[in-house]
Amino acid sequence: MFLRSCLPAWCAGARDGATVAPRCEQFEVEAPSEERRRQRTCSRSPSASNSSGRSGIMCGQRVCISACVVVCLLLMLLGVAVLLGFDHLFRFILSKEVSLTEHSRAFPMWKDTSHDIKIRFFFFNVTNPNNVLIGEKPAVKEVGPYTYRAEWIKHNITFHDNGTMSYKETKRYYFDRGSSVGPETDEIMTVNVPFVTTAQLLKEQNFIIRGIASLSLSGLGQRIFISRSVGQLTFGGYPDILVLLGSVIDSGRPRPGQPGFNIGDVFSHGYRTVIDMLGSLVDPDRQGTNGKFGYMINKNDTIDGEYTIFTGENDISNVNKVYEFNKHRKLEVWPGDECNTLKGTLGHIRPPLSKTDDQIVFIPDICRSIPLENTGEETFKGLKVKRFVAGPTSFDSGQMRSENDCFSAGRNLPEGGANLGPCKQGAPLVLSFPHFLYADASYRGDIDGMKPNASKHEFFFNSEPTLGVTVNVRGRIQISVVLERVFGLGPFSRVAEGVLPLFWQETRVEARDDTVKFLKTIVQLPEYSQWGSVGLIVISSLLLAASTFLLFRPRITRREITKVQPVDEDPKKPADATCADMLPSKVERILQNGLDRLPNSFGITAVRNNFINELKNTRRSSEPSAPADIDIYKS
C-alpha cells in the first residue's frame, strides 16, 4: 500500500506526539505476511521456551489420543470376535476337557467319585404269613430305610489305542445308623427265596420226585416264610444249604463248563449224597458265598466287574458308553442277541451339550440297559439340570415292543414287571419300580399294602446339560418273588399265588457342594463371555468416539478462531507496536492526530477530511488487505 502525503515521520514520532516539519514523501506499508504473523504470535507469548514446552505437550497429547483410538478399535474388534466365536471355542474346549483322558478335568472327578453315595433298603414285612400259606391275600408293611454309605473305588485303569479305557471298581459299604430307622439287627418276616426257587424247579418233575423232595426239604426245616435280620438279608447273608444246591441244579440247561443235571436226579440219588458233590460243581458266580444267602452277598468290598468304556477322545458323543463288560462285547444271560447287546453309558457322564431327549443306562446288577426320557428342567443346589426319568416302558419284556420279548425268557408277566431269573441263577424274581409304580393293576390287586407314589418311587437322573455330568441320582428298583402252587410239595400246595414284593432299593448319588460350585463356574462362562463382550463393545465404542473427537478438535478450533476472532492487540502497550501492527485501525487514529496538529496555514483541512473519509471507507470494505493507494491531495 502506498501513501502520498505531507506528514511528519509518524512511524517514528507519532507515538511520542512530537511536532516535526512537514515533508511530503511516498512511503510503502506492507500487509503482514504469514511468517510475520507467526512471529507476532510468538512475540506475544511469555517466552519462547514456554511456547516450545506447550507445543511438546500438545504433540504428546495427540500421540496418546491416537494410541487410545487404536486400542479402542482393537478392543471393539476383540469384543465382536468373542461374541461371534466363543460358542465354537467353548465347544472345542469342552470336547477336550470332558473326555475321560488322563489329563482332562473330567477324569479326576470321574475317577475319585466327587459325589456322596448311599444305598437305602426298604423291606416289605409280611404281616400275615400263616394266612398266605392257606391261600389268603398277602399283607405287607414297608420298613425302612436302612442306609449304607458307599465308596466306589476305580483302579487298574488302562487306556487303549482304539479310544477306550478299561478299569475295575471295588465297592465298599458301611452301615449308617444315623440315617436308618433301626439297627441291622431288626428282624424282617420275608420269603425264603432259595426254598421258593427250588420249588419252582421241582414243579416240572413228576409226582413221585416232588414227594421225595417234600420229605427231604421239610426234614431240613425249610419253610416258605422266615424271619431274618436286616444285616443278614443285605451284605451279611445267612447260611442256607439250598444255596449250594441252587448253584448246580439246572432245569435242563447245561452251564458253560458244566454238564448240568435235572433236579429230579438229585432227589432220586438221595439229597445227602448230592450235597457231597456240591463243592466241586459250584457255579463260579457263587464262589465266596460259603453257602450263605443274602440279596447283597459277596457285594461288599469286592470287585464289581471289569468295564471297558469309550473315553470320548476320538468322538465326544461316545464318552462313557460301554464297550465291554468282563471282557465280553455281549452278555451271555438272555436268549436273544438284542437283549444281550451292551447299550448306553454307566450313568456318570453323558455327551456335553447333547440335544437328545433320551438316555440309556446300563445296570450290571440287573443284566440289562434301561431307557430314560427327558421330562424337563429343574434346579439342583442352584444348578440348572435336565431330569431323565425311567418311564412305564423301561422294564418292557415284549408287552409293548416285540424286540424286548427276549427279556421275558419264557415267563410272561403283566405289563410293568420284568423277569429277572436269568440274571439271578434262575430264581423266580421279578424286577419293577417300587410299589409296582407304572405296572399293571393286577400286581397291586394281589397284595395289601402297595402305595405307589411317583415322587417317592420314581427312577431318575439329573444331568447338567452343558457338561453332561450327572449330579443327582435316585435309582429305585424293586425285587419281588413269584409264588406259585406246586402240588405234592408240602407248603406250596395251597399257598396264595402272585408276585410278592421282597424289598426295594434306592441308590442315592449327590454331587458335593464344591463340585456343584465348580460346575456352576464352567456353565456360566458362555453367559459371562456374552455380557462381557457386549460390555467391551459398548465401552470401547464410547471411548473410540470420545478419542476421535479429542483428536480432531484442535484443528476445528483453530479454523474457527481464524475465521471469526481477529487478533486484538493490547491497547495498553503502544510502545511495542509496529507500523504493520497498527494497520488499518490504528493508522486512522494516528494519522488523524497528526493532521490535527498541522497549522491551518497549510490550507489542508479539506485534504485532511478527505483522507480520513477515504481511510474509513477502505476499512469498511470486505477486502481483507490494507487500503489501496490514497491520494491525500485529492480535492
Cell numbers for 339, please give them. Answer: 437283549
Rounded Cα distance, 563 and 566, in Å: 8
Biggest CA pair distance of the chain: 176
Rounded Cα distance, 508 and 506, in Å: 6
The per-residue pLDDT for range 125-147, each reduced to its tens digit, is: 999 999 999 999 999 999 999 99
Can you list the alpha helix ranges (DSSP code H) found in 191-285?
Answer: 193-202, 207-219, 230-231, 241-248, 263-268, 271-275, 278-281
591-595 long-range contacts, Cβ below 8 Å, gap at least 24? 591/7, 591/10, 591/615, 593/14, 593/17, 594/7, 594/8, 594/10, 594/14, 595/7
Q: Which residues, including other chains, have CB under 8 Å from residue 387's CB and lie 6 or more apart?
A: 374, 375, 376, 377, 378, 460, 461, 462
Main-chain phi, psi angles of 174, to 5 degrees: -130, 130
Asked if residues 470 and 348 have their Cβ atoms less than 8 Å apart, the reply is: yes
Q: Give SS3 for 335.
A: coil
The per-residue pLDDT for range 267-318, each reduced to its tens digit, is: 544 444 444 444 444 444 444 456 789 999 989 989 888 999 999 888 888 8
Mean pLDDT, rounded, for 248-261: 45
Domain ranges within the chain, ordered by starting residue: 115-511
Rounded Cα distance, 86 and 75, in Å: 15
Q: What is the pTM of this model?
A: 0.69
Q: Which residues, including other chains, have CB under 8 Å from residue 37's CB and lie 6 or more apart?
A: none
Question: Taking Cα atoms as reference points, which of 181, 104, 164, 458 lies closest to residue 308?
Answer: 164
Q: Give SS3 for 213.
A: helix
Rounded Cα distance, 573 and 12, in Å: 16
Whether the per-residue pLDDT at 17 is higher than 80: the answer is no
Q: What percent of the chain has pLDDT over 70?
A: 65
Whether the per-residue pLDDT at 115 is higher than 90: the answer is no
Asked if residues 244 and 282 have their Cβ atoms less than 8 Å apart, the reply is: yes
> Any idea what DSSP says for residue 224?
S
Question: Taking Cα atoms as reference points, which of 274, 392, 262, 418 lies closest to residue 339?
Answer: 418
Chain-centroid distance, C-alpha 277:
58
Cell numbers for 332, please give them. Answer: 451271555
At residue 47, the pLDDT reads: 47
At residue 150, the pLDDT reads: 94
Asked if residues 242 and 197 have their Cβ atoms less than 8 Å apart, the reply is: yes
Cell numbers for 521, please give them. Answer: 463356574
The per-residue pLDDT for range 56-103, each reduced to its tens digit, is: 565 666 677 677 777 777 777 776 766 666 666 667 777 777 888 888
Which residue bears the cell 427279556? 407
At residue 56, the pLDDT reads: 58
The per-residue pLDDT for range 229-242, each reduced to its tens digit, is: 999 999 999 988 77
Burial grade of 276 (CB within 10 A; 0-12, 13-18, 19 or more): exposed
At residue 137, the pLDDT reads: 94
